């Protein structure tokens, strides 16, 4: 147990505080015994009461001493209860004494000072009792505070350095927020960095909060005997303790705020009858005003901070649970909810639920505020208060239907935002395809249309909000007219003091009146969001009991499936897989083959437990590793992707990368395996992504390996090396199930499964299946035929074909000399984007401006719409309102009699009429202002959004390669919401609060200009505080915005790779990383909120003392110098001086924090764009390109000026209407050449000429719309089959069906209930990879371009389907130019010409026959490798 100097200080303060309470009570007794004046005739009872209180206080001091002595962490509940009771008794005592002192015009005695001093002490003890903790530290075992993520918090060794300031703060520091002072010292000197911000308290950490929320759920599950407890009860159970404490502070704040209106009438009476009353009673009144304001300020700051802190806790807990749910969602649930929609739950819905926590205190504050208001009114206006109550209830009732309509609008806004974000996420993910297909313009229009729908609902909501603002500002007018009118009818005299007290009360009533609809609105929003989150949290999960795990020592069978029936859709009658019986012994190599859509990948998923098991038994013995068909790569460096959470063992690691053919890749990267990978591996070739994924699985050293077609993305040589060194080498003793379309690998398998229509049609060894002649020979025969044609081609010269092409080839081939070819030229040209010598950092840290928000950002925002034309009208409307409001109140104060019995200066009816006209005029100005602010704000938000959207769409692909999608989505979601709904109000209130403050100063200075003596220096101090605060708060807000994105990005990545995470049993590690990221975001957010309260507390206190000084001044001035009624008006306004003065600074600071969202959106509105889409001066004929000749002249490509060239001196011509094959090792530059044709990357030197047109001199849209491509990664969009075939809607249904027939999909689509309107889920995940590639072929068949590019277009289909596709392409594109990149050599060998690339240069370019004539040619070596790999296969087929 350790004791710090801070603990000693706390101990002394507790004991001294308790002793002072005893001393105060003892002093009261002595005064009473000495004849101190009291308003009670029973002297003995009073002395006995005070004596009893002293005894109890002495007992509490002894209890405090025991707490200190025993080093207790918390104060005993009995002691806390006594302190609470003492505080409330002290409040009642001071209130009664004040009332009696004023009533009897008594002078202040020493006993009053003792009572007041005791009240202040009791108030401090009240705060301590609420907190409950003593703050005495204990030594905690080091393992409890170990970081959740190994390695993550080792950086800069900041664990001790960043110890939570909040956790070790004293009670005084908590009240004044001075525990933040060390952070301000750092932030004022230099811009804050993330590692300089102290950690959050353990109770605010994500791990602690997640565990607490789990406990709440467990409690409710046990209590209600249900697996899906109500989320509302779960939230209530989680937050209620902290919420009750906040509620206590809120109630105290609300009660203290009505002391001022209650005392105004007494103060005006004092000023009117100053000669008959003592100055001491006036000073006592001023002291009462000040005491109430201090209590109000302190309690208000505590409950607001507490509410924010509670919101942080709830947000952390809910985000964590949404993340955990996302990791275990069933496939059916994933298909019903897109990534964008799920991310919206985390970003928008969670925010709305936590916003409700802010307003929850209004629930109990509302009745207290109204009750106190009515009490104050009753004290001044007697039964006129009933009319005020009735009018208040009427105004509140009017707001309820408006709130219902607002709820509907909010729901519509959320639905529209969901649709927009869903589409935006999909578009950003597939931007490369959109650019290649020239669809970017149409998809931009689609997003703009979705935004227009959202804009429509936003405008309706803002319009309704303007009406609500009119009611808010008009409510005091309505209530006051009803109240004063009722008083006139009931004969209640309206004096200036009563009127001013009533007006002050009516202004106080604005809060509950306005907060009710606001509260109802937030409840409505919160309920909608809570229901959405609850619906998501109750989605179906993957079956946890679908697999039985058997210990390895109990069986030699690693995988066993008995009578398995599986389905992706739990409600489907027809299973996806049926009658599955499988037994795989330890160490077996099992190959799975079959046609497209036969159920190969589904079989692996059933073994992983990803599918819904309808019946049967699945047994697994050992750990699993899984390699998916679509590579899943995490953002980070290569080594992190391979280690995947395991420790780095160099020998094992080196052996793994060698077996996975990655050694030479690493040698070519400037930073080796520490080279950074872009989002989704976007800067890696398909083969490299697949090999990294295989290396990740191999390094796990699992017992069972499940490979889903891992060789489709690599070339023949690399595939052979992987099969030999990896599957048959490092994994020779492991159990391996591999799906493959490469038939040449099948003879090496111990067992082969042939899938057909979701069943195992055949099973056995290769020889056995060849002898059966049932269906296997179709797959094998297709490969045999392709191989035979290639071997035939290899052995014959095809003289006739050569003679036909020779002349063309001779003229087009400028570099037929065979360059020395490296054995493995795996230089990944695209990785050059990623690598700089200084750290190989492709994905840069998010842009973060430093220093103050530039004036140009404000100017840009204000002048975006019509050059800021509406801004002067908005300021004029607000100024008019302020003038009219002051005039109406001034009129009432001046015209009403100062005291009872005096005559008003005019008829009371005329007084009320003028008041009504002035007040209604002011309310109409508010309506005008609210409408103008809404219009200007929404127009500005819309224009800035469109500018950003168009800028992003026009950005080059290098921007998307280096920018995680989450950054753009964060701006389009969270930041855009700030612009839509918050920014206009925040910026508007900066001007409005300044205008209100100037109005208040004008009123006060008219009465007592001397107040400027203190007001000016206090204002200077306020400005200094603001300037001291801004640098720290601004950087905290920026860091908070930056740290929000990694949470969303990590969540999106985890959703995409959830199957892999589950297969590797890495859920816990990813959950811990999510908690770490939540804490990273919570840290700047929490301290930013606390910093705002730090500033507000100080500004409020300074304003309170200015107000108190003005009151003392009014009391001190001789009678007759000032008009008591006008002085009362000054006090009425002065009551809110602390709020106004603080709100000016607070609004300026808050607006600057929110302006960061504008800054971030403007950042993405100025992205350097690619070349123009259209060039008016260069109009092409409609039939261009007619011939399809592509000529490369001295082409040189590099991705950035500081990076080396990735294509060098490319000189060759692709003749029109011919088939050109492009081959080369993985990463030799094939894909870059294709990107250059589409101008995804621009030439640094040289040119590309298509049909005598230099493509760099025409618009991108003209170029890309005339070309067709079937990309390596098949992409499908959420929607329908029809929409995916023809996204632009240019073709008829009959043409669509014709394309489906040709690409072998017609029968599958006809089986669907909705035919062409059949559903396609996000990423096309309800279609197999092969089917998705066939859809891409269907698009090309519809487009019928003169030039078609195939980039590994048949990599994911079986040999039989590949053969059919090649025949279709040969037939449909026989008179067109076809450029083919393929790893299957037989798809290239029949081309008219073959281009061989090596290290970004032309190694060979000639006819296949002439290249095969030379044994040393690069192409010849590739063909021989492929032939040798299939030699064993041929021997087996000949044997058969």
Asked whether residue 809 carries a pLDDT value surpassing 50, the answer given is no
**Is the confidence at residue 1341, as pLDDT, over 70?**
yes
Buried b (16+ CB within 10 A) or exposed e, 349-373: bbebbbbbbebbbbebbbebbbebb
Mean pLDDT of the chain: 78
Q: Residue 911's pLDDT is what?
A: 79
Helix 496-537, helix 259-272: angle, nearest 10: 170
- Residue 1145 predicted with pLDDT over 80: no
Average pLDDT over residues 101-114: 59
Q: At 802, is the pLDDT very low, low, confident or very high (cuts 50, 70, 90)?
A: very low
pLDDT over 90 at 358, yes or no: no
**Count of Cβ atoms closer than 10 Å to residue 875 Cβ:** 17
In DSSP terms, 619 is beta-bridged to 548, 560
Summarize the confidence of residues 1220-1232 as an average pLDDT: 79
Q: Quick one: pLDDT band at residue 736, thresholds 50, 70, 90?
A: very high
User: Cα–Cα distance between 76 and 544 in angstroms, integer?
Assistant: 46
**Confidence at residue 1336, expressed as pLDDT on a 0 to 100 scale:** 85
- Complete DSSP assignment for 244-267: HHHHHHHHHHHHHHTHHHHHHHHH
For 228, other C-beta atoms within 10 Å of its C-beta total 12
What lies within 8 Å, CB to CB, of 186 at 6+ separation is 192, 196, 1032
Query: Is 50's pLDDT higher than 80?
Result: no
Least confident segment among 698-707, 709-718, 1078-1087, 1209-1218? 709-718
Answer yes or no: is pLDDT of 688 > 50: yes
CA dist list (Å): 1060 to 28, 623, 644: 75, 13, 11
Per-residue pLDDT band for 821 (boundaries 50, 70, 90) equals: very low
Strand partners, 627: 707
Give the residue among 414, 427, 462, 112 at the shortest CA–CA distance from 291.
Answer: 112
Least confident of 257-271, 1125-1139, 1223-1237: 1125-1139
Give the model confidence (pLDDT) of 445-455 as tens digits. 999 999 999 99
Strand partners, 561: 582, 618
More confident residue, 337 or 30: 337
* Model confidence at 1115: pLDDT above 90: no
User: Do 198 and 165 touch, CB atoms closer than 8 A?
Assistant: yes
pLDDT category at 457 given cuts 50, 70, 90 is very high
Structure tokens at 905: 């200066």
| Residue 971 DSSP code | I
> Confidence class of residue 281 from pLDDT cuts 50, 70 and 90?
confident
- How many angstroms from the chain centroid is the CA of residue 228? 26
Question: What is the per-residue pLDDT across 324-333, written as a single tens digit (0 to 9) for each?
Answer: 988 888 877 7
pLDDT at position 515, please? Answer: 66
**Percentage of residues in the chain with pLDDT exceeding 70?**
78
**For residue 138, what pLDDT is reported?**
43
Strand duo 1401-1406 + 1393-1398: pairing: antiparallel
Per-residue pLDDT band for 800 (boundaries 50, 70, 90) equals: very low
pLDDT over threshold 70, residue 793: no
Element (H or E) spanning 859, and its range?
helix 855-863
**Percent of the chain's residues with pLDDT above 90:** 9
Pairwise CA distance, residues 44 & 40, whole Å = 10
What average pLDDT does the segment 525-538 reach? Answer: 84
Higher pLDDT, 571 or 951: 951
Average pLDDT over residues 494-499: 78
Q: Which is more confident, 812 or 172?
A: 172
Cα-based angle 766, 770, 776 (whole degrees, multiple of 5): 90
Cα dist from 992 to 32, 930, 936, 979, whole Å: 53, 11, 16, 19
Q: How far apart are CA 464 and CA 458, in angstroms?
A: 10
Residue 331, judged by CB atoms within 10 A of its CB (0-12, 13-18, 19+), counts as buried
Query: Is the pLDDT assigned to residue 1075 strictly greater than 90?
Result: yes
Q: What is the pLDDT of residue 704?
A: 93
pLDDT of 706 higher than 90? yes
pTM of the model: 0.70
Query: Region 1208-1217: what's the mean pLDDT?
Result: 89
Who's near 1182: CB < 8 A, 6+ residues apart?
none
Q: What pLDDT does residue 871 have? A: 87
The three-class DSSP label of residue 211 is: helix
12-21, 922-931, 1243-1252: the lowest-pLDDT one = 12-21
Q: How sure is the predictor about 72, in pLDDT bands with cuts at 50, 70 and 90?
A: low
Give the model's pLDDT for residue 470: 82
pLDDT of residue 901: 58
**What is the reported pLDDT for 1104?**
83
Express each pLDDT in 1399-1416 by its tens digit: 888 888 888 888 888 877
pLDDT at 524: 74
3-state secondary structure of 160: coil
Most confident range (mean pLDDT) of 178-192, 507-521, 693-707, 1035-1049 is 693-707
Say how far apart CA 1015 and CA 597 lie, in whole Å. Answer: 80
Q: How confident is the model at residue 157 (pLDDT cuts 50, 70, 90)?
A: very low
| Per-residue pLDDT band at 795 (split at 50, 70, 90) | low
Neighbours of 478 (CB within 10 A): 21
Q: Is residue 672 scored above 90 in pLDDT?
A: no
Other C-beta atoms closer than 10 Å to the C-beta of 1111 total 26
Phi, psi dihedral angles at 582 (to 5 degrees)? -150, 135
List the single range of 497-501, 960-964, 1125-1129 with lowest mean pLDDT. Answer: 1125-1129
CA distances from 1387 to 786, 1354, 1384 (A): 8, 9, 6
pLDDT bin (cut points 50, 70, 90) of residue 38 is very low
Per residue in 926-973, pLDDT (tens digit) is 888 888 988 999 999 999 999 999 999 999 888 887 787 878 888 888
Write the burial class of residue 837 (CB in 10 Å: 0-12 exposed, 13-18 middle, 19+ buried): exposed
The whole-number pLDDT of residue 746 equals 83
Predicted confidence (pLDDT) per residue in 1283-1338, tens digit: 888 888 888 888 888 888 888 888 888 888 888 888 888 778 778 777 888 888 88
pLDDT at 499 (0 to 100) = 81
Question: Helix, strand, or coil here: 707?
Answer: strand
Digit-coded pLDDT (tens) for 374-421: 888 888 788 888 888 888 888 878 777 887 888 788 888 888 988 888
């Amino acid at each position: 147990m350790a004791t710090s100097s801070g603990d000693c200080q706390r101990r002394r303060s507790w004991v001294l505080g308790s002793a002072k309470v005893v001393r105060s009570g003892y002093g009261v007794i002595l005064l009473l015994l000495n004849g101190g004046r009291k308003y009670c005739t029973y002297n003995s009872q009073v002395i006995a009461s005070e004596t009893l209180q002293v005894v109890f206080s002495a007992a509490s001091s002894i209890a405090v001493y025991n707490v200190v002595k025993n080093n207790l962490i918390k104060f005993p509940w009995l002691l806390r209860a006594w302190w609470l009771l003492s505080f409330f008794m002290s409040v009642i005592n001071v209130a009664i004494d004040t009332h009696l002192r004023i009533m009897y015009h008594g002078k202040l005695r020493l006993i009053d000072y003792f009572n007041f001093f005791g009240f202040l002490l009791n108030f401090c003890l009240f705060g301590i009792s609420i907190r409950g903790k003593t703050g005495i530290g204990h030594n905690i075992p080091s393992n409890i505070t170990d970081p959740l993520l190994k390695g993550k918090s080792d950086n800069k060794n900041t664990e001790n350095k960043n110890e939570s300031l909040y956790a070790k703060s004293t009670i005084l520091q908590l009240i004044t927020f001075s525990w933040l002072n060390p952070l301000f010292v750092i932030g004022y000197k230099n811009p804050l960095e993330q590692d300089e911000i102290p950690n959050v308290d353990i109770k605010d950490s994500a791990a602690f909060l997640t565990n607490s929320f789990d406990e709440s759920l467990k409690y409710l599950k046990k209590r209600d005997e249900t697996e899906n407890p109500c989320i509302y009860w779960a939230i209530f159970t989680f937050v209620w303790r902290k919420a009750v404490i906040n509620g206590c502070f809120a109630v105290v704040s609300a009660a203290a705020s009505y002391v001022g209106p209650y005392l105004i009438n007494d103060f005006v009476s004092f000023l009117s009858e100053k000669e008959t009353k003592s100055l001491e009673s006036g000073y006592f009144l001023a002291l009462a005003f000040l005491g109430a304001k201090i209590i109000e300020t302190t309690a208000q700051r505590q409950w607001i901070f507490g509410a924010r802190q509670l919101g942080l806790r709830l947000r952390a807990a809910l985000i964590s649970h949404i993340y955990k749910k996302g990791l275990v969602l069933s496939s059916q649930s994933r298909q019903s909810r897109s990534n964008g929609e799920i991310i919206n739950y985390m970003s928008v819905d969670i925010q709305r639920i936590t916003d409700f926590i802010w307003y929850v205190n209004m629930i109990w504050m509302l009745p207290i505020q109204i009750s106190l208001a009515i009490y104050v009114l009753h004290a001044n206006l007697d039964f006129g208060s009933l009319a005020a109550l009735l009018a208040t209830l009427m105004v509140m009732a009017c707001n309820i239907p408006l709130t219902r309509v607002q709820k509907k609008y909010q729901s519509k806004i959320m639905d529209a935002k969901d649709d927009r974000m869903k589409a935006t996420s999909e578009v950003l993910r597939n931007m490369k395809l959109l650019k290649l297909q020239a669809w970017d313009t149409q998809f931009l229009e689609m997003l703009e249309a979705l935004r227009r729908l959202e804009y429509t609902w936003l405008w309706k909501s803002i319009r309704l909000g303007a009406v609500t603002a009119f009611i808010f500002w008009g409510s005091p007018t309505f209530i006051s007219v009803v109240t004063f009118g009722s008083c006139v009818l009931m004969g209640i005299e309206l004096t200036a003091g009563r009127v001013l007290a009533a007006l002050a009360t009516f202004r106080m009533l604005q809060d509950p009146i306005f907060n009710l609809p606001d509260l109802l609105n937030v409840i409505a929003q919160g309920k909608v969001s809570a229901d959405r989150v609850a619906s998501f949290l109750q989605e179906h999960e993957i079956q946890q009991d679908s697999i039985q795990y058997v210990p390895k020592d109990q069986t030699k069978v690693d995988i066993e499936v008995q009578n398995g029936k599986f389905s992706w859709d739990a409600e489907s009658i027809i299973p996806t897989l049926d009658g599955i019986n499988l037994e795989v012994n330890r160490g077996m190599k099992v190959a799975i083959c079959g046609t497209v859509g036969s159920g190969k990948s589904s079989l692996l998923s059933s073994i992983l437990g990803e599918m819904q098991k309808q019946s049967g038994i699945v047994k697994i013995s050992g750990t699993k590793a899984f390699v998916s068909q679509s590579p899943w790569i995490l953002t980070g460096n290569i080594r992190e992707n391979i280690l995947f959470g395991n420790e780095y063992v160099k020998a094992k690691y080196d052996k793994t990368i060698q077996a996975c053919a990655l050694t030479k890749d690493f040698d070519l990267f400037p930073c080796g395996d520490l080279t950074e990978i872009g989002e989704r591996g976007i800067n890696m070739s398909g083969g490299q992504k697949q090999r990294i994924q295989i290396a990740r699985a191999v390094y796990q050293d699992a017992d069972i390996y499940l490979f889903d077609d891992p060789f489709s993305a690599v070339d023949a040589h690399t595939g052979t090396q992987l099969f030999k060194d990896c599957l048959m080498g490092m994994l020779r003793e492991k159990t391996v199930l591999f799906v493959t379309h490469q038939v040449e690998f099948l003879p090496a398998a111990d067992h082969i499964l042939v899938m057909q229509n979701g069943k195992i049609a055949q099973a056995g060894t290769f020889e056995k299946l060849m002898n059966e002649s049932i269906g296997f020979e179709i797959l094998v025969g297709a490969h045999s035929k392709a191989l035979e044609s290639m071997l035939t081609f290899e052995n014959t010269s095809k003289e006739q074909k050569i003679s036909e092409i020779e002349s063309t080839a001779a003229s087009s081939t400028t570099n037929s000399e065979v360059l020395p070819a490296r054995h493995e030229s795996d230089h990944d040209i695209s990785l050059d984007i990623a690598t700089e010598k200084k750290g190989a950092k492709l994905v840069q840290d998010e842009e973060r401006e430093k220093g103050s928000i530039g004036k140009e950002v404000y100017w840009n925002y204000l002048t975006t719409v019509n050059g800021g034309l509406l801004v002067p009208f908005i300021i004029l409307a607000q100024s008019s309102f302020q003038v009219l409001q002051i005039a109406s109140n001034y009129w009432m104060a001046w015209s009403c009699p100062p005291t009872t019995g005096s005559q008003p200066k005019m008829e009371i009816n005329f007084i009320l009429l003028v008041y009504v006209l002035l007040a209604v005029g002011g309310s109409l100005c508010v309506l005008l202002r609210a409408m103008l602010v809404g219009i200007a704000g929404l127009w500005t938000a819309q224009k800035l959004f469109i500018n950003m959207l168009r800028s992003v769409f026009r950005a080059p692909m290098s921007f998307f390669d280096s920018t995680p999608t989450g950054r753009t989505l964060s701006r389009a979601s969270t930041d855009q919401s700030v612009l839509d709904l918050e920014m206009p109000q925040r910026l508007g209130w900066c001007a409005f609060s300044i205008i209100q403050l100037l109005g208040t100063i004008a009123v006060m200075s008219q009465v007592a200009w001397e107040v400027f003596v203190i007001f000016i220096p206090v204002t200077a101090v306020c400005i200094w505080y603001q300037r001291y605060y801004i640098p720290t708060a601004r950087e905290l807000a920026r860091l908070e915005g930056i740290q929000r994105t990694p949470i969303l990005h990590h969540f999106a990545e985890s959703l995409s790779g959830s199957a892999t995470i589950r297969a590797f049993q890495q859920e816990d590690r990813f959950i811990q990383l999510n908690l770490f990221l939540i804490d990273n975001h919570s840290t700047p957010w929490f301290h930013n909120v606390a910093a705002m309260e730090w500033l507000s507390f100080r500004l409020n206190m300074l304003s309170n003392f200015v107000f108190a000084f003005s009151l003392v001044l009014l009391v001190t001035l001789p009678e007759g110098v000032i008009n008591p009624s006008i002085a009362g008006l000054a006090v009425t306004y002065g009551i809110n001086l602390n709020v106004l003065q603080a709100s000016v600074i607070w609004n300026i600071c808050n607006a600057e924090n929110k302006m960061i969202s504008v800054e971030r959106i403007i950042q993405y509105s100025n992205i350097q764009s690619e070349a123009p889409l259209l060039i008016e001066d260069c109009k092409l004929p409609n039939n261009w390109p007619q011939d399809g000749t592509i000529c490369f002249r001295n082409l040189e490509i590099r991705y950035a000026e500081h990076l080396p060239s990735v294509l060098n001196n490319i000189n060759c011509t692709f003749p029109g209407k011919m088939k050109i094959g492009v081959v080369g090792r993985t990463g030799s530059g094939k894909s870059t050449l294709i990107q250059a044709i589409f101008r995804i990357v621009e030439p640094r030197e040289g040119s590309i000429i298509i049909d005598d047109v230099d493509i760099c001199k025409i618009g991108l849209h003209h170029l890309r719309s005339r070309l067709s491509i079937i990309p390596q990664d098949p992409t499908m969009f959420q929607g329908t089959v029809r929409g995916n075939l023809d996204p632009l809607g240019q073709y008829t249904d009959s043409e669509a069906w014709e394309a489906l027939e040709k690409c072998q999909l017609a029968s599958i689509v006809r089986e669907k209930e909705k035919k062409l309107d059949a559903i396609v889920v996000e990423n096309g995940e309800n279609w197999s990879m092969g089917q998705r590639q066939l859809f891409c072929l269907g698009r090309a068949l519809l487009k019928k371009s003169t030039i078609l590019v195939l980039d590994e277009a048949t990599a994911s289909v079986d040999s039989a389907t590949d053969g059919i596709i090649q025949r279709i392409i040969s037939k449909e594109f026989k008179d067109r130019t076809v450029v083919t990149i393929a790893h299957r050599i037989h798809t290239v060998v029949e081309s008219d010409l073959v281009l061989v690339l090596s290290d970004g240069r032309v190694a060979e370019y000639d006819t296949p026959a002439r290249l095969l004539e030379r044994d040393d040619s690069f192409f010849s070596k590739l063909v021989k490798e492929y032939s040798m790999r299939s030699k064993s296969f041929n021997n087996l087929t000949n044997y058969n």
